[in-house]
Amino acid sequence: MCELLGMSANVPTDICFSFRGLMHRGGRTGPHRDGWGITFYEDKGFRTFKDPMPCYESPIARLVQDYPIKSRAVIGHIRQANRGHVALENTHPFTREQWGQFWTFAHNGQLSGYEKLLKPGKHRPVGDTDSETAFCWLLNELDRKYPRKPADMKALFLYAGELCGRLNDFGIFNMLLSDGRYLLAYCSTSLHWITRRAPFGKAQLIDEDVVIDFHQETTPHDIVSVIATLPLTSDEQWHALTPRHYRLFHYGECIAETGV
């Protein structure tokens, strides 16, 4: 299996602390040695860093860890390959253009019979993973329902959550999806979240003896939600998503939670 990392914030925020915890699980404290990637949104653009090397051994990952890129939406992933060979094209997150926006997706799990999802549509997979195939199917289904960009993006993401329930029928489908403003987190087996807001305190990573004082790094108005496969800190109250449920975040706040 793989591990996911997501962030939704109301102000541009760096994710160096959380990424540092995830990085250790990519080859040091965890078995996820088959590549890693992370996407940061900045206004209408995005930056993606990927490497098929283990995250803990990757010079690019060390750059990301030390480079405080500020973003309102982030999706990260460390991979333990089960569908598709270890290669850059199979490394998450995956990004596509839809309705004049960049959409980013990462998946943790394993699907069977996913070849049925390979239907005609605008989006086609480049690599040979079940994850990218599912992402293309998801966007193509959204494209069929919404030939033009809808005014109500919240409704679109709620429909995307329903589609995730259909994908979950193919196996294990823990997923993060974002257009840079909204972030959808769907839980199949394991996904956790935490929302940090004033008064901010300290937190210690589980995978490394590192402590951060968020009070020194934030303002009283900041709202930052972090989503991860497993909790990243040992002294905060993380919440487990219920399987076959999803949460929709918008600039740090959870604006919808629905069961499928």
- Catalytic residue set: 2
Q: Please, what's the b/e burial string for 211-229 (b: 16 or more CB within 10 A of its CB; e: otherwise)?
A: ebebeeebeeebbbbbbbb
Token pair recorded at residue 6: 């997501």
- Rounded-to-integer distance, Cα 7 and Cα 18, Å: 9
Q: HSE-up of 125 (CA within 13 Å, CB side)?
A: 24
Q: What whole-number distance in Å separates Cα of residue 258 and Cα of residue 260?
A: 7
Rama region for 57: left / alpha / beta (φ>0; ψ in -120 to 50; rest): alpha
- Other C-beta atoms closer than 10 Å to the C-beta of 119 total 11
The Cα–Cα gap between 85 and 87 comes to 6
The pair of three-digit structure tokens given for residue 237, joined into one six-digit string? 């109250």
C-beta of residue 163 within 8 angstroms of C-beta of residue 146: no
Nearest of 34, 29, 4 to residue 19 by alpha carbon = 4
Alpha-carbon distance 154 to 159, whole Å?
9
Provide the terminal-to-terminal Cα distance of the chain, rounded to the nearest Å.
23
Ramachandran angles phi, psi of 134, nearest 5°: -65, -40
